[in-house]
Amino acid sequence: MQPKVQKVVIAGGGTAGWMAGAALAKMLGKNLQITLVESEEIGTVGVGEATIPTLHIFHRLLGIKEAEFMAATNATFKLGIAFEHWHDLDKHYIHSFGFLGKDCWACGFQHFWRRGVQLGVASQIGDYCVEHLAAREGRFAVLPNQDLNHAYHMDAGLYAKFLRQLAEQHGLKRIEGKIDQVLQHDDGRIKALQLQNGQLIEGDLFLDCTGFRGLLIEQTLHTGYDDWSHWLPCDSAVAVQTKTVSAPVAYTRSIAHDSGWQWRIPLQSRVGNGMVFCSKYWSDEFAKQKLLENLQGEPLMTPKVLKFRTGTRRKHWNKNVVAIGLSSGFLEPLESTSIHLIQRNIIRLLQMFPSYGIQPADIAEFNRQAQQEMENIRDFIILHYKQTERSDSPFWRYCQSMPVPESLQHRLDLFEQTGRVYKIGLELFGEASWLQVMIGQGLMPQQYHPIVDAMSQEELRDFLDKIKANVRKTVSGYPDVNDFIRHYCQTAVQ
């Protein structure tokens, strides 16, 4: 018989630690003793400020009210990501949330749109998506039964504080201190964390939220790491915050440079900026200078350099340790998936929580699902680098020519040859996402489904025009996004 899990210890705070702490305390706190150990002397990465719509699932689970969360975290709304200079220099597109046009039983909307492009009766594919047009025009509203698919730009440090308050309300105990030693049972399981002051924190289940160093999952259990840097060669980032100089837009900006890319994430009262780059081609100092030259607004801090290695831990759950956040692996923030992956491992753990003892079958299934999810997101991010017409630098020439995972190559071949896309099970990115990025990166299908030819040219034009007009009508009824945020958050504070 495996011992019951009654004591959960979370090693590390930050976004990962406090998301895990809040969820466990809220959902299972009555039956568990939950302790979080963190040190104010140890900084957090704290630059993950952009999210995707799946965060709504986590907030509903915890009963978090949107307006209150936004007021507390300096948040703005996000409807997608604008990719600038990715397909080629001076070519831009938006990957928006939401759905494209109307499908039929036999094929997706892209087949009707593709034929429309050939006939000259279709406009850009984003014109057939409410979120896409709203992002471009800076309009937004939260309305009953008519919500836009949206996410947030937020201050990650304030989000951790917001969740800490919730966690402690539900009984979580926070202990301040640095972990000096990790004690193990004879079979290798973690027994306790010993702090520098000598205090022992014993537990049955440990969550590793110690960031890239993976104090428990890697430094103690030596779990191993699958390196994906041959597909995702960027290995460094420099981040800085700036003053706001213009009204926030409702999308993240991703601006490609010759050896990496730059993000701009607008919050209510400041802007998050960063440069993700490959150290093979740029030094840290050059990247800092490049970022500072391309800022809009006065810097509020000294630029901070981060080093990383894209890839995944070979096991996200090993013995009695579950890795949450950066300790479980890292995929660069190109599609704002970091907080989503934190959330998924937390929810997966709640679904498989080992109340009556840790079972090998649970561990195996947890790891299978986590691995599959990481690989699906990995392929989607690689797509942005591989499918490009840029050849103006050694970095982009490498990305163009590099072999990619078979799973991604199959998707690219299938879409190019037939126009078909698909979603596997519960993977994160749906057909609309794959379509927008593949088309935005310059990949157009050679064919369309023959059922489209059942429509005459006039019927197809009318079909496309009606969808476009309905999208336009819907968006025109929304207020300015920043006017809405001010009213929304002010109401929450009152």
Residues with a catalytic annotation lie at: 78
The answer to whether 337 touches 373, Cβ cutoff 8 Å, is no
Listed residue (357, 318, 307) closest to 216, CA to CA: 318
Cβ-based neighbour number of residue 389 at 10 Å: 14
Number of residues that make up the chain: 494
Chain-centre distance for alpha carbon 485 = 22
Backbone φ, ψ for residue 243 (5° rounding): -70, 150
Residue 24 CB burial class (10 angstroms; 0-12, 13-18, ≥19): buried
CA nearest to 325, candidates 98, 159, 82, 96: 159
Is the Cβ–Cβ distance between 370 and 417 less than 8 Å? no
Question: How far is the C-alpha of 239 from the C-alpha of 301, rounded, in Å?
Answer: 9
Q: 10 Å Cβ neighbour count for 90? A: 7
Whether 79 contacts 134, CB under 8 Å:
yes
Six-digit token pair at 79? 């409807």
Dihedral (Cα; 382, 370, 18, 307), 10-degree rounding: -40
Biggest CA–CA distance in the chain, Å, is: 79
Does residue 214 contact residue 327 with C-beta atoms inside 8 Å? yes
Report the C-alpha gap between 253 and 347 in whole angstroms. Answer: 29
Contact at 8 Å (CB) between 113 and 14?
A: no
Residue 78 CA: distances (Å) to CA of 94, 98, 149: 12, 12, 9
Which residues does 367 contact at the CB level (< 8 Å), separation at least 6? 315, 316, 317
